[in-house]
Amino acid sequence: MKPAFADIEAAARRIAPHAHVTPVLRSRSLDALAGCAIAFKCENFQRVGAFKFRGACNAVWSLSEADAIRGVVTHSSGNHGAALALAARTRGIAAHVVVPDGAVAAKIAAIRAYGASVHVCAPTLAARDEAATRIARETGAALVHPFTNEHVIAGQGTAALELLRETGGLDALIAPIGGGGLIGGSGVAAKGIFPQIRIFAAEPEGAADAYESLRRGERVVDIEPDTICDGLRATFGQVNFDLMREYGVQVLPVSDTETIAAMRLIFERMKIVVEPSSAVVLAAILRHRERFAGLRVGAILSGGNVDLQQLPW
């Protein structure tokens, strides 16, 4: 199911007691470098360090009392697992997170620290789905898919909603694309406020399933991701593809080298910590500068969960 603009507004009201209204930051020197005026929505300051908390929180608080009491389940090796764990805790319900064997120990520890039960499975798509479905059947927990769930998509759209209401008129909006929950929700929110706004998605060349899908006119699901952007390796969903076509989203590919350079610029010029999956938006603006020349651009920095011991420069 595709969410409508009213669903984004409802999500914003639903998550307001739990989620942060994150700051919008600007940088004169990055504007000069890019040749446009960029308003960065800083979801690295969101709870659990990523926009994912918005969607998870909306999904958890959209459940009926009867459903909620049986808890929630998802599969994720990254930010969505931690986000759902914390969202469940805000409602006092159980969360189960299926993680693939070999997932980063720090991320598993974070999911546990937020109070979720962690279930390790074999590192395949089939094993992951099987484990989550089995847990849902056994416990009655509601399955909250990381990016096809409509409440998740609506929740992710609240970042763009806040951004556009704070900045006023923008000519373009850009967000990263992985599974497509953020770009889908952002499209619904932005077009609902400014029907003329252009929507762009920044995508790593090494995980260009969205770019290829739009080019071929059908959803491509057989790309093996190879990118430093660990948050953007997922294969995006059918509902997300539909939303992208409906809102005329243009996908802008970037190389990992460009992403790393952009990430460093954000650290140096903006003095904030972002993960590679966030930096793709600046990388895309700088690489495809002719698309943005002179425009007022909103850019969603999706998160800041990066291994500080292994910064990529």
- CA-to-CA distance for 135 and 257, rounded, in angstroms? 40
Residue 141 is which amino acid?
A: A
Least spacing, CB of residue 38 vs its own copies, in Å? 16
Out of 32, 105, 222, 313, point to the residue binding its own copies (CB under 8 A).
313
Nearest approach, Cβ of residue 223 and its own copies (Å): 30
Inter-residue contact 284 to 254 (CB < 8 Å):
yes
Site for its own copies (CB under 8 A): how many residues? Answer: 18
Judged by CB under 8 A, the residue of 49, 146, 176, 298 near its own copies is 49
What is the C-alpha to C-alpha distance for residues 254 and 252, in angstroms, rounded to an integer? 7
Tell me the pairing of strands 95-100 and 172-176. unpaired
Q: Does 268 bind its own copies (CB under 8 A)?
A: yes
Residues 6+ apart with CB under 8 A from 93: 60, 68, 69, 70, 71, 72
| 14-43 binders of its own copies (CB under 8 A) | 23, 25
Tokens read off for 273: 């910590």
3-state secondary structure at position 40: strand
In the list 267, 288, 291, 295, the residue contacting its own copies (rule: CB under 8 A) is: 267
- Interface map 61-100 toward its own copies (x if CB under 8 A): ----------------------------------------
Q: Which helix (H) or strand (E) holds 6?
A: helix 5-15
User: Where does this chain touch its own copies (CB under 8 A) — which range of 33-41, 211-219, 254-262, 305-313?
Assistant: 305-313
273 binds its own copies (CB under 8 A): yes
Chain contacts with its own copies (rule: CB under 8 A): 23, 25, 44-45, 49, 264, 267-268, 270-274, 304, 308-309, 311, 313
